């Protein structure tokens, strides 16, 4: 117990020593619905005076994407001096969405919009985090509007913005904080857009992989040593925020997640859409449970996974993923059933009709929370460029917002009290079952879970 206390103190000291920025409580707003998120984006586009930086995995050629890009062009017409930059993953922009029948890629659409709006420069940049999509993507989050950050794990498309009936549920926060916005913008300017590996996607010609392969490798190596540059301007007794960014296994974001989880004194809550936690995080959860801490994990039901497809629809190999994640969860619960039984470990699955679940984040006691786009899986841990905002709330100023957000999330969940409540492989559709057995024989299932 003495050794555990010393280690806990070490983790708490790490968090205490992080550089922090003061955050006004009145300037921290939690949004609770997808529609409110969409409205907030459109309102900020219409009112921003100096610059708009949109960071997103993708900016889809669909109704929601058209609405946002049209709003950006309208803002540019009204305020020509407005600096608008869209920063998205290069590989994702150059291919169609899985299952799409369209011949027009997102990059094609960006160029079409540029030539139909001559003289209006809205720069759309494709960022290649690795030489191929499967080995690393731009997973940077946060829409920057002058002194305001709208932070969410969501990208731009019909589901994320609930353009029609269905939605993909995420977390949504607005932070009015000049220092935070400046630091996040400067990182993009200095470490992303300055690289010769970055491609303009709103132009007719793009280099191909082989032409810039060396530039991409150098760009990735440089990013592994890049951080948000900030000085400590807040005490450990006030509401504060710390922006974090990382690429590669031993980055600052990953280290902070480890220390954050390990510092739990009473209870930790985790949200992740894909139950495929890195081994180090599984070990921390085990250790916390054995030291009488409470853990709550909120995951998407298999059918609320964005890769899920009903058995009666055409089958693609990617549709196996929700089942692999469920297998992971079943094994996890079976090993820790004792802690589920004594109510130390709570497992909730989210499901709401045909909508999907994309929430990520960590809450530790009532003092800390992490808002992030990271899926807390091996891919996020090792391959992708991820970021987050760590919130320290020692006076519990945000407790009401925190409790309301969690209440909204939990309202569409159900408890798993026994690992046998989850389907096993024998109950899966025949195509899924056969493919899993085939992949297991050659150990490809482990590789798939590592890179997706």
The residues annotated with a catalytic role in the active site are 139, 170, 358, 386
**How many angstroms from the chain centroid is the CA of residue 325?**
17
Helices assigned H by DSSP within 155-223: 178-187, 209-223
* CA distances to 179, 203, 318, 365 from 70, in Å: 29, 18, 33, 42
Q: Classify 298 as helix, strand or coil.
A: strand
Phi, psi dihedrals of residue 285, rounded to the nearest 5°: -60, -45
Q: Characterize 103-139 residue by residue with b for buried, 16 or more Cβ atoms within 10 angstroms of its Cβ, and e for exposed.
A: eebbbbbbbebbeebeebebbbbbbbbbbebeebbbb
Question: Radius of gyration of the chain from Cα atoms?
Answer: 22
Among 171, 159, 190, 169, CA closest to 53: 190
Among 360, 368, 341, 348, CA closest to 265: 368
Cβ neighbour number for residue 203 with a 10 Å cutoff: 14
Answer for the pair 359, 257: CB distance below 8 angstroms, yes or no.
Answer: no
The whole-angstrom separation of Cα 264 and Cα 365 is 7
Token pair in block for residue 194 = 């300055």
Token pair 């020509």 in the structure block, residue: 80
Helices assigned H by DSSP within 237-341: 252-262, 279-290, 321-335, 337-341
Q: Classify 361 as helix, strand or coil.
A: strand
The whole-angstrom separation of Cα 357 and Cα 355 is 7
């Amino acid at each position: 117990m003495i050794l555990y206390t010393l280690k806990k103190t070490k983790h708490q000291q790490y968090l205490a020593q992080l550089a922090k920025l003061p955050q006004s409580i009145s300037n921290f707003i939690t949004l609770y619905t997808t529609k409110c998120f969409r409205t907030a984006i459109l309102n900020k586009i219409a009112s921003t005076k100096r610059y708009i930086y949109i960071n997103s995995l993708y900016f889809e050629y669909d109704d929601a994407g058209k609405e946002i890009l049209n709003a950006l062009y309208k803002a540019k017409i009204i305020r020509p001096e407005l600096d608008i930059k869209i920063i998205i993953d290069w590989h994702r922009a150059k291919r169609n969405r899985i299952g799409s029948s369209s011949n027009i890629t997102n990059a094609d659409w960006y160029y079409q919009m540029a030539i139909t709006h001559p003289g209006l420069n809205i720069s759309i940049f494709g960022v290649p985090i690795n030489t191929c999509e499967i080995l690393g993507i731009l997973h940077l989050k946060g829409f920057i509007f002058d002194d305001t950050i709208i932070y969410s794990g969501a990208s731009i498309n019909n589901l994320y913005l609930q353009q029609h009936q269905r939605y993909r549920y995420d977390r949504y926060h607005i932070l009015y904080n000049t220092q935070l916005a400046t630091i996040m913008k400067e990182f993009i300017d200095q470490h992303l857009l300055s690289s010769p590996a970055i491609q303009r996607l709103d132009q007719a010609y793009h280099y191909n992989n082989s032409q810039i392969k060396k530039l991409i490798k150098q760009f990735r190596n440089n990013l592994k040593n890049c951080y948000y540059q900030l000085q400590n301007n807040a005490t450990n007794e006030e509401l504060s925020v710390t922006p974090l960014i990382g690429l590669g296994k031993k980055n600052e974001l990953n280290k902070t997640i480890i220390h954050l989880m390990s510092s739990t004194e009473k209870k930790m809550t985790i949200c992740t859409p894909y139950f495929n936690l890195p081994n180090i995080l599984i070990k921390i959860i085990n250790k916390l449970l054995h030291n009488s801490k409470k853990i709550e994990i909120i995951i998407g039901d298999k059918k609320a996974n964005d890769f899920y497809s009903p058995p009666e629809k055409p089958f693609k190999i990617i549709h196996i993923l929700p089942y692999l994640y469920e297998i992971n969860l079943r094994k996890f619960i079976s090993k820790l059933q004792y802690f589920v039984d004594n109510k130390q470990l709570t497992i909730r699955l989210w499901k709401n009709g045909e909508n999907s679940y994309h929430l990520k984040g960590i809450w530790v006691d009532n003092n800390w929370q992490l808002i992030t786009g990271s899926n807390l899986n091996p891919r996020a841990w090792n391959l992708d460029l991820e970021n987050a905002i760590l919130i320290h709330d020692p006076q519990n100023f945000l407790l009401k917002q925190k409790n309301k957000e969690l209440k909204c999330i939990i309202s569409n969940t159900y408890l798993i009290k026994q690992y046998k409540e989850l389907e096993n492989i024998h109950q899966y559709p025949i195509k899924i079952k056969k493919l899993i057995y085939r992949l297991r024989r050659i150990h490809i299932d482990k590789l798939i879970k590592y890179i997706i």
